[in-house]
């Protein structure tokens, strides 16, 4: 596959993109604030977009999934909800309704091919991210379990910092924080200052399987 096969900025393909509606963003914002209700697909030519947890209108600060342009987002799926939003940053975006996207596919086979190539790349990246998360969860679970005392009692406070866990597991501090928050959502652990309160150590053992 050619090095520039994913690019959509050739004059021919930009002409096809103009079947949609063009928006330029200069600061971080929720993707849905720029789209219209009937637009279900966003095609990014520049900038970045990340899926980020939003809890009680509070931005959690870390993307679950990050994508750099060229990228394609399906806005009709459940990812845009009360729990998570796509965050865009300094992006050039073309929004499409289903009818406009179908017209674009019919008018250019090259556009349809490039569109599919981008989706395939995104799927491969998502799979790698899932594998990394699974491996990281096992490393973090093993590190926490090794610190338990007294036969793994329920409700034990483990005194350890995220920096220490990062050093032990070989994961970044950001990744450790992300996994700990995942454990928190699963009811396994509760984050504290300088410690992790393990509510259900037995569930940590399941992470190792």
- Cis peptide bond prior to 70, omega within 30° of 0: yes
Q: What percent of the chain clears pLDDT 90, i.e. is strictly above it?
A: 21
What is the topology classification, in CATH, of domain 136-207?
Arc Repressor Mutant, subunit A (1.10.10)
Pick the CATH number of 11-107 from 3.65.10.10, 3.40.50.11810, 3.40.50.970, 2.60.120.10: 2.60.120.10
Burial of 75 (0-12, 13-18, 19+ CB in 10 A): middle
Structure tokens that stand for 136 in this block: 């990281």
pLDDT score for 136: 75
- What tens digit of pLDDT does each residue of 68-77 get? 888 999 887 5
Which residues face 89 on adjacent strands?
48
**100 vs 85, higher pLDDT:** 100
Mean pLDDT of 180-198: 85
> Any idea where the domains of the chain sit in the sequence?
11-107, 136-207
Where b means 16+ CB within 10 Å and e means fewer, 19-30 reads bbbebebeeeee
Cβ contact 118:6 at 8 Å: yes
Where is 176: in which H helix or E strand? helix 173-185
Residue bearing the bigger pLDDT, 42 or 127? 42
pLDDT digits (tens, 9 = 90+) for 89-125: 889 999 999 999 999 999 999 899 999 989 888 887 7
Place of tokens 């030519």: 45
Least confident of 17-31, 55-69, 82-96, 187-201: 55-69
């Amino acid at each position: 596959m050619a090095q520039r096969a994913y690019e959509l900025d050739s004059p021919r393909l930009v002409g096809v993109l103009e079947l949609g509606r063009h928006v330029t963003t200069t600061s971080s914002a929720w993707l849905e604030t720029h789209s219209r209700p009937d637009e279900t697909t966003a095609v990014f030519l520049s900038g970045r977009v990340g899926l980020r947890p939003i809890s009680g209108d509070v931005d959690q600060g870390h993307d679950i999934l990050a994508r750099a342009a060229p990228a394609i987002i399906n806005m009709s799926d459940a990812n845009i909800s009360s729990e998570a939003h796509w965050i865009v940053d300094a992006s050039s975006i073309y929004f499409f309704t289903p009818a406009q996207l179908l017209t674009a596919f019919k008018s250019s086979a090259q556009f349809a091919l490039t569109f599919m190539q981008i989706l395939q790349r995104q799927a491969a990246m998502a799979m790698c991210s899932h594998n990394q998360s699974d491996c990281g969860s096992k490393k973090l679970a093993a590190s926490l379990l090794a610190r338990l005392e007294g036969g793994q009692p329920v409700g034990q406070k483990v005194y350890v910092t995220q920096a220490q866990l990062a050093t032990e597991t070989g994961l970044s501090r950001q990744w450790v924080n992300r996994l700990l928050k995942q454990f928190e959502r699963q009811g396994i652990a509760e984050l504290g200052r300088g410690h992790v309160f393990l509510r259900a150590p037995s569930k940590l053992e399941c992470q190792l399987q």
